[in-house]
Amino acid sequence: MTYHVDTTLPDITCPADLKALPLEKLPALAEKIRSTLIETLSQTGGHLGPNLGVVELTIAMHRVFDTPKDKFVFDVAHQGYVHKMLTGRWDKIHTIRQYEGLNGFLLRSESEHDCYGAGHAGTALGAALGMASARDLKGGDEHVVCVSGDAAFTCGPVFEALNNISSHTKRLITVLNDNEWSIDRNVGAIAKYFNTIATHPGFTNLHDKAAKFVEFVLGGGARKLAERVENSAKGLLLPQSEGAHNRSVLFEEFGIRYYGPIDGHDIPLLIQTFEFLKNQNEPVILHILTEKGRGYKPALEDPGKFHGLGKYNIETGEVQATDKPTYSQIYARTVTDFAKEDPKIVAITAAMPGGTGLMAFKKEIPERYFDVGIAEEHAALFACGMATQGLRPFLTIYSTFMQRAIDMIIHDMAIQHLPVRLCMDRGGLSGDDGPTHHGLFDISYLRGIPGLVHMQPKDEDEFVDMLWTMANYDKGPIAIRYPRGNGPGVTPKAKPQLLEIGKAEVVADGADIALIALGDMFAIAEKAKVELEAKGLSVALINPRWIKPLDHQVIETYARKVKVVCTLEDHVLMNGFGCAVMELLSSAGITTPVVRVGWPDEFVEHGTPAILRQKHGLTVEATVEKVLSKLS
C-alpha cells in the first residue's frame, strides 16, 4: 500500500471548521488525519501508534466540546498530535519535534487549546480534578475532560486522584482509552481487570448495546436500559452474588459512574455518548476500546516499536539501522550475561523493556525479570525489598522518570544502605522529546544523598567495566547514567575489570589547563585539547568517571598545577558535576578559576542534540572560547 497525504478534503484551521463539517464527512477526515500522520512522521519521527489510535476520539471530543473554554487534559500528551491538527496547527504538523517547531507533547505556551502540558504518565487525572474543583469554586460551567490510557492506571498518582474525585467535584469526565499497551504491553492486576471487562460475555455485542443506550437514553426506557448496560459490567472485580445490589465495579467504589466499554473508533457513537455524558451532574468514566496504530499495518503488528520512533520507511515500517549498538543495547546484553553467571542478579523496569533494552533479559531469563508497570516509586521499593534478601537488583529507568522515585532512593535505599543498582538510561539530553524527557537533573538530585555512588562512562568499554563494578558492589546504592543512542564505538574488552571507586583516569598531563570531562562530553574535551594545544598551551585531560565520590587527589593536584580548570557535563550547570568540583576546590582553599560547560538553568527546548549544543554552548568552539577568556 502506498501512503500519501490526501489534500482533497477541506482543511481544518480551528475546531469551528470541524463542527461545520457534515457528520458523514468525519470518517474521511479521520483517514486524512491518519495519512497525514503516517507521511509526516516518516520524516520527523514521533509517537505514531498512540496518535493513530485516538483519531476518532479526538474528532468526537472537538465536535462535542468547545476548547479553549472546555479543558482537555491528555495523560502524557504524546497522543496530542491529532488535537494539535484540529486546533489551528495542521499546517505546522510537519515541524513536530523539530527545532523551533511543534513540541511532541502538549505545551501551555504553544496554544490556548493546550490547557495542561505533560510528558510523564499518571499526572492528568489529578490535574483535571484540580481544574474541575477550581471551576466549581469560581462558579464556572466549562467541561473538563481527562483522557488517560489504561497503562496510566498502574500509576500511584492516578489512584490518589480517583480517591479524591467524588469528594472534590460533582462534574468531571474521564476517558479511559484502553488499547492494552503503554510503551510495552501492560502488566499487572489492573491490566487484567480491564481485559476482563472488555472480554466479558456481556459485551460481545458492545457496539449494539452502547448504540441502543445512547439512542434511547433520553426516552422513556432510558433508566431500565441504562441499568441493564451498567449491570453487565458489574461483578467483574468482586464475585457475583445472588443480588445485583452486591455487585461491584472498581470505579463505582470510588464514587465515579462507569460507562462502557464502547468502540473508540465509531465517531457517531462517540459523539452521541459525549453529548449524553456532558449533561451528567456526577463524575463519570467512559471506557473506550481502541487499536494502537490503527490504519497502518506495521504499527498494528509492532505497537511497541511504533509507540515512539525515528524516521521510518512508510512502505515497510523499517527504521534506519545503525552500524554500532546503542548504550541501551550494550546495557541489556551485558547485564543479561552477568545474570547468567550470578543467580542473585535481577532486572526491574517500569513498563519500558524495549526502550531500556531489557527485552533481551526478559526473553533469556524471564523468571528474574520484573516489569512493574508505570510505577517508578513502587519499582524502587520493590528493588529495596529484594536487596534486603541478598539479591542484586538492577533498577533500569530513564533518568527523567527516576525523578519520581527520589523519596524512595533517599528514605528507603540510602538510609538503609541497600545495594540497589540505579541504571539511568537517557542520562543527558534526549533531543527531540524536549524538556519533559531530557535527563539533565539526575546529578543534582542524587549527589546530595549520603553514601550513594554515582558514575558515568566515557565510552562503551568503560561502560561495561562500570556495570561489572556495580554488579560486585554491595555496600549501598550505586548509580550510573548513560546517554541515549550510540557511544564513540569502542568495543568492550572480552573480560570486564573492576574499577576503583572514586578514582579518576588521567588521560594526558598538562600544565596550563585541566579539562575534566564527564561521560559523553569527553569527546568534546579531546577536540578542545587539540585546538588549545595548537595555540601553544599545555592541556591535561581527565576522565573523572565518578560524580560521587570525586577523586579529590587528582582534581586538587591539577587545580593547584594549572591556570584554569574546565569541567564539561551533559547536565544542567546548576548543582551539577562542575558545582561539585567547585565545592571541592573551595573546601581545599584552591582559588584556580573554574570554567563550566553544561546546560543553562532553564528547561531546554526540543531539537537535535547538535543544534541544541550549538545554541547553548556545549561545543568544542565554546569550550575553547571560555577557557581562553579566563586565561586572558
Whether residue 150 is annotated as binding a ligand: the answer is yes
Q: What average pLDDT does this structure show over 542-557?
A: 98
User: C-alpha cell of 42?
Assistant: 516518516
Whether residue 331 is annotated as binding a ligand: the answer is no
Closest CA to 49 of 265, 302, 315, 270: 302
Is residue 151 within 8 A of residue 110, CB to CB? The reply is no
Give the three-class secondary structure for 398.
strand
Cα 129 to chain centroid distance, Å, stands at 22
Helix H or strand E encompassing 530: helix 522-534
Residue 241 has pLDDT above 60, yes or no: no
Q: Does residue 324 have an active-site annotation?
A: no
Domains with residue ranges and CATH for the chain? 15-219+250-301 (3.40.50.970), 327-481 (3.40.50.970), 506-629 (3.40.50.920)
> Does the N-terminal peptide bond of residue 593 adopt cis geometry, omega within 30 degrees of 0?
no
Distance CA 361, CA 232 (A): 41
Q: What average pLDDT does this structure show over 428-447?
A: 95
Whether residue 494 is annotated as binding a ligand: the answer is no
Q: State residue 7's pLDDT score.
A: 43
Distance CA 409, CA 395 (A): 11
pLDDT grade for 467, boundaries at 50, 70 and 90 = very high
User: C-alpha cell of 400?
Assistant: 527523567
pLDDT grade for 119, boundaries at 50, 70 and 90 = confident
Answer with the residue of higher pLDDT: 86 or 292.
86
Q: State residue 237's pLDDT score.
A: 30
Q: Give the β-pairing of 513-517 and 564-572.
A: parallel
Residue 6 has pLDDT above 80, yes or no: no
Give the three-class secondary structure for 178.
strand
DSSP 62-130: HHHS-TTTSEEEESSSTT-HHHHIIIIIGGGGGGTTSTTS--SS--TTT-TT------STT-HHHHHHH
Q: Which of 404, 447, 545, 613 is catalytic?
A: 404
Q: What average pLDDT does this structure show over 234-258?
A: 54
Is residue 256 within 8 A of residue 284, CB to CB? The reply is yes
Q: State residue 242's pLDDT score.
A: 36
Whether residue 152 is annotated as binding a ligand: the answer is yes
3-state secondary structure 251-294: HHHCCCEEEEEEECCCHHHHHHHHHHHCCCCCCEEEEEECCCCC
Distance CA 293, CA 291 (A): 6
Whether residue 151 is annotated as binding a ligand: the answer is yes
Flag the least confident range among 225-239, 352-366, 434-448: 225-239
pTM: 0.86
Q: Does residue 503 have an active-site annotation?
A: no
Whether residue 296 is annotated as binding a ligand: the answer is yes
Q: Which of 34, 292, 294, 305 is catalytic?
A: 292
Q: Which of 180, 230, 376, 377 is catalytic?
A: 376
Q: What average pLDDT does this structure show over 480-492?
A: 96
What is the b/e burial string over 60-74, where b = at least 16 CB atoms within 10 angstroms of the residue's CB?
bbbbbbebeebbbbb
Contacts of 221 (CB under 8 A, 6+ apart): none
Answer with the residue of higher pLDDT: 49 or 348.
348
Q: What average pLDDT does this structure show over 567-572?
A: 98
Q: What average pLDDT does this structure show over 478-505?
A: 97
Give the three-class secondary structure for 54.
coil
Residue 211 has pLDDT above 60, yes or no: no
Is residue 172 within 8 A of residue 128, CB to CB? The reply is yes
Q: Mean pLDDT, the chain, as a whole number?
A: 89
Q: What average pLDDT does this structure show over 616-620?
A: 98
Distance CA 528, CA 624 (A): 6
Flag the least confident range among 230-244, 383-397, 592-606, 611-625: 230-244
Q: Does residue 138 have an active-site annotation?
A: no
Distance CA 28, CA 9 (A): 8
- Bridge partners, 513 (sequence order): 539, 564
Whether residue 78 is annotated as binding a ligand: the answer is yes
Give the three-class secondary structure for 557.
helix
How many of the other CB atoms lie within 10 Å of CB of 298?
19
Is residue 389 within 8 A of residue 343, CB to CB? The reply is no
Q: What average pLDDT does this structure show over 120-145?
A: 96
pLDDT digits (tens, 9 = 90+) for 325-380: 999 999 999 999 999 999 999 999 998 898 999 999 999 999 999 999 999 999 99
Euclidean distance between the first and the last CA atom of the chain, given in angstroms as a whole number: 64
Whether residue 121 is annotated as binding a ligand: the answer is yes
Residue 550 has pLDDT above 70, yes or no: yes
Please identify which residue in the block is written with the cell numbers 539533565: 440
Residue 620 has pLDDT above 70, yes or no: yes
